[in-house]
A and B are shown apart, each in its own frame.
Chain A
Amino acid sequence: METQITGRRAAAALRRREPLRLRTELKAVLYLVPFLIPFAVFYLWPVCRGIWMSLHVWGIRGMEKYVGIANYDKIFNNPDFYVYLWHSFYFVLLCTPTVIALGLILALLINERIWFRTAIRSAFFLPYVLSVSVISFIWLHLFDAKNGPVNALLGLLGAGELNWLTDRGLVWWAITIVTDWWTVGFVMVLFLAGLQEIPPDHYEAAKIDGAGAWQRFRHITMPGLSSVMKIQIFYQVIGSLKLFGQVQIMTGGGPGDSTNTMIRYIYVTGFKKDMFGLASAQSIVFCVIMLMIAAIQFKLTDRKDG
């Protein structure tokens, strides 16, 4: 009975408010249009077209024939797919923790009152503004086994010749070093912003209570950074999964296929082997996997917030 009444009352209230709500909704849509149109034209439409392509044999000359889900069948029956998918995830495991740890350490250092703060901050941020091809070519030369500065430096320390880009054991580390160097500036800047939002009086109070540096970091800094941290992890996981340029330029997926990632696999299938239908299907599968990961991450971080 009670629920019925409240239900009816709510319905009445809703009806009364309807014209107003419709107007606000319309207004919202109107404001969104400038975003929605380019989004639909440049993003949604290509995605839909990709789905359509993925159901066909599609060569350089365009559509050849409709094959239904045969392309998807082919993907899941090819052991290469799982290998390259693992490579993409392996890179996430290598790169995300290292770049976040480094970024945090740099941010903490720069947040202190040290000399040449701005200069140091700019120096670390500088690589981030370069394009992936530039940084890849720089490190391609730095890592050169015979004439590269990295090996020359290590040689002074007594190390032998290291084949950074053609040794299975080293190549992932080489790619990780490059990517960390490239993106750590951005991670650092976000953490710096986070650090500056933590009120200094918290630290003062903790100091008065006799908390040590580690305790202050553990109980004030870390919780204060948690929201920034979540965003960082999210960005880095997605960014690492999209690894392409560095391996394409520096290793060509090699030695063998040991640094071939999902994105490079899709690129080779489409643009090198002219199998655009199969490549579209691969992109769709990978896109779904990435969306699932994003959804899981959102879920996890949401729960912590609540």
Chain B
Amino acid sequence: MKMKKKSATLLTTGMALTLALAGCGNGSNNNNAASSAPASGSASAPASSQAASTGNGGSAVEITFWNMFGGGEGDFVDQIIKGFNDSQKEVVVKQLRLESNEYYAKLGTALSSGKGPDVAVAHVDRISPFVKAKQIVPVDDLASKVGLDLSQITASNLQSVTYDGKPYAVPLDTHFHMFYYNKDLLKKADLLNEDGTPKLGEMTPEGFEKTLAQIQSKVPDIQALAVNTPYFQEPFLNLYYEAGGDILNADMTKAAINNDKALSVLKFYMDVYKNKYADLNDKNPWDSFSNGKAAFWFGGVWEAGVLLGDASKNIGAMPLPPIFGSQTHWASSHLLVVPSYVSAEKQEASAKFMKYFSEVGGSTWGKAGHVPANANVTASDEYKSLPYRDQFIEAQKTVKFAPQTDKYTTIVTTIAESLQNIIFGSESPEDGLKDMEKQINEVLDN
């Protein structure tokens, strides 16, 4: 009897322990999945660099490269990395591809904890906080050490990464929106020129609406203009920048968004929705356009592969028309940055990779649609032979990058949310803009 009781106790203890261990294992597994990046980045690097160095006769430096590219873009990056690793024996690049939604949370953690990549991709509108915290290094000295001539980089790109006169990243590209048009639909609407370009009429909001009305009356079953409603901040900022607007004032201390320019852009879009030139309920406008259900589309250059690559779609591209006056439009840019915690040896290795990515990889990267930042690449015949790239280069000349504030992410999220409220009618445009101004000012005061 006593024996039996004892064994029962033992059994329960055993079970409890097993459960606890299982729980523990689970917990740490989840933990790993959530933050696998820094952990595996730092843990695997030394182990595999040993392997690599033995394989390469003990001379190769292995660096870890973080990026967030998936799908088509990812394939081009794979090609570039392979090309670099095959082209020389001193540096081996190992990449860690992260989920784009969580990329900056992880990169930020890595940079502040001092463990993570040796070189990483970042967007131009994201690096301000890193520069301010001195978590990434200036690249001018590194570039000259490995013979990367930064004057090859397009001036506007270089300017966008310059803080206090020093460049803090190597810009890879500029990406922005183009005006894509469906030639078949325009032909039906009598709006196609002989040379395959669209007849756009008078370049004012009213004039453009007239064009849209003509498409609607002649080709009734489609949207005249597909508007990126789910990410409405993009079409909004494009036309707001055209109108000469800014998000912040010149010294970036106050919001500058509550004005007539913003209001007229919002009223234009509300009109477009109201007259059914665009469908407010379309949750996949990019598909609608790609499938021939819309005549015009402000689409990213990164969509060029899909939209222009397939000749049967009969789609053309040109810079965004100056509906609100100027040709200035929104842009962002991919950069390569080197964290401050990286050792001098690995910084130099990273710089070699940056040089390769900019000079040689650029032409591969250009195929993805982004306009390479390296002017030698965009001047090459190989790049120019890609469809509509002359138009891309033209559009690249009038881009406007995000203001260099470390609060940009917060600000643009605030704008995106308020805009959704405005276009879906929870708030009038006037109140919405007032609200935006108030919230942005609160963020800046913090």
A residues adjacent to B (C-beta < 8 A) = 31, 34-35, 37-38, 41-42, 57, 59-62, 144-146, 163, 165-168, 252-258, 268, 271-275
Contact = CB atoms under 8 A, between A and B. Distances in A.
Given A34-B19, A37-B20, A257-B426, A42 B27 contact: yes
B410 A144 contact: no
A57 B406 CA distance: 14
A168 B280 CA distance: 13
Nearest to A164: B281
B24 interface: yes
Contacts of B443: 273
Contacts of A31: 12-13, 16
Contacts, number: 78
The 3 lowest CB-CB distance pairs between A and B, nearest first, are A34-B20, A256-B424, A60-B108
Contact of A59 (B129, B135, B425): B129
Contacts of B413: 268, 272-273
A66 to B, nearest CB: 13
A165 B283 contact: yes
Nearest to B288: A146
Interface string B101-116: 0001100100110000
Interface of B: 12-13, 16-17, 19-21, 23-24, 27, 104-105, 108, 111-112, 129, 133, 135, 230, 280-283, 409-410, 413-414, 417, 420-421, 423-427, 443, 446
A252 to B, nearest CB: 7
Given A60-B108, A145-B281, A273-B443, 20 more contacts: A31-B12, A31-B16, A34-B17, A34-B19, A37-B20, A41-B27, A60-B112, A60-B129, A61-B111, A61-B135, A145-B282, A145-B283, A166-B424, A167-B281, A254-B420, A256-B423, A257-B417, A271-B105, A272-B409, A273-B410
A59 B443 CA distance: 12
**Residue of A37, A60, A146, A275 contacting most chain B CB atoms (<10 Å):** A60
A34 B15 CA distance: 10
A135 B99 CA distance: 20
**Residue of B12, B281, B427 contacting most chain A CB atoms (<10 Å):** B281
Nearest to A30: B13
B283 A35 contact: no
Contact of A163 (B13, B281, B410): B281
A34 B16 CA distance: 7
A258 B425 CA distance: 11
A60 B426 CA distance: 31
A275 B406 CA distance: 12
B280 A166 contact: yes
Nearest to B135: A61
A275 B445 CA distance: 13
Contact of B420 (A37, A61, A257): A257
A254 B410 contact: no
